Amino acid sequence: MSDLVSLPLCGIETRSDCFCQYPKMCIFASMTKKLPIILLNFSGVYDYESFASSQNIIHVDCRGLNGTDCYCDEEGREELRRLLAPYPAKALHFIDSGDYHYLTEYWVSKLQEPFSLIVLDHHPDMQQPQWEGVISCGGWVTDVLEKNPFVRNIIIVGASDELISQVPVHLREKVMFYSQAEIDHHKAWPSKAGKLIHEPVYISIDKDVLRKQDAITDWTNGDMTLMQLQAVLRIIYAHEEVIGVDITGECSATLDYLSEVKDASVNNKANEELMQMILSEGLET
């Protein structure tokens, strides 16, 4: 595992606005010709995944933060805002297990332009909030839908029909859902979602959308193969302007060692292949 990056940070969210007093050392100076890859380590699970040792990945140590596991209270959100302030939304983000999927809401809150959100997830993540001021891994999409002034469309791909039916009707009608049959049909995207989207897109991937053979997660899995997921991403890249991506769905490092190693090898393969594909496609900035 590579050492955590400890270079000076200018705190500016867009590289073009950087006026850091250490321009040769600032992480954003090194990003100008590369897609930024930012890895948030909450559980320590990435210690078991070799893809994370790439020198091109910026590691952010989030271990030990209070009030951030599954549910994130205002104190936890404030600490995360402080910790993540220097990093751009227009990047590839790895955000640990699905317990922290609510961080997508944080990344897209940094986009000060109209955008559409595409979520690939076995779960709709549209639960109603249980407590004021608390965002959850199971309800963050609702927060984006109701509170983000720049979001224009939300498209959820691969969610369980049963779980979709549990989303309140008034919320369900405001998003577009893609079934397994539709995502296998290459003409479905331009004929359906393509007619809605007229702005850049941010993609959020929870690996629990994949079958168990391709991803071992903390939550129930879908039945999409890794190859199908890659095909869906290629369709999106072919038709849309992608400005940011995040990937979650690790299996938290809380099980016995042998299980962790097995789980990590499966997820490492998925992360490596997805990372290489996204790097080859690039982002629009």
- Dump pLDDT digits (tens) for 44-61: 999 989 999 998 999 999
More confident site: 33 or 42: 42
Examine residue 111 and state whether it is found in any structural domain, yes or no. yes
Phi, psi of 177 (to 5 degrees): -110, 140
Examine residue 149 and state whether it is found in any structural domain, yes or no. yes
Residue 233, domain extent: 15-281
| DSSP H or E stretch at residue 245 | strand 242-248
Q: In this predicted structure, what is the pLDDT of residue 213?
A: 94
Report whether 205 contacts 229 (CB < 8 A): yes
Q: How far apart are CA 209 and CA 202, in angstroms?
A: 17
| pTM for this entry | 0.85
As to burial, measured by CB atoms within 10 angstroms (0-12 exposed, 13-18 middle, 19+ buried), residue 257 is exposed
Examine residue 7 and state whether it is found in any structural domain, yes or no. no
Structural domain count of the chain: 1
Return the top range by mean pLDDT from 126-130, 186-190, 218-222. Answer: 218-222
Q: What are the pLDDT digits (tens) for 160-208?
A: 999 999 999 999 999 999 876 676 666 677 777 878 899 999 999 999 9
* pLDDT band with cut points at 50, 70 and 90 for residue 18: very low
∠ CA 160-93-86, rounded to 5°:
140
Phi, psi of 156 (to 5 degrees): -110, 125
Report whether 28 contacts 91 (CB < 8 A): no
CATH code, 250: 3.40.800.10
Q: How many helices (H) and strands (E) does the chain have?
A: 11, 10
| pLDDT for residue 19 is more than 60 | no
Examine residue 134 and state whether it is found in any structural domain, yes or no. yes
Helix (H, G, I), strand (E, B), or coil: what is residue 179? coil
Q: How far apart are CA 118 and CA 176, in angstroms?
A: 9
Give the residue from 104, 220, 100 showing the smallest Cα distance to 160: 220
Examine residue 63 and state whether it is found in any structural domain, yes or no. yes
Helix axes 257-281, 226-239, angle to 10 degrees: 20
Examine residue 5 and state whether it is found in any structural domain, yes or no. no
Examine residue 193 and state whether it is found in any structural domain, yes or no. yes
Examine residue 1 and state whether it is found in any structural domain, yes or no. no
Region label for 81, one of left (φ > 0), alpha (ψ between -120 and 50) or beta (otherwise): alpha
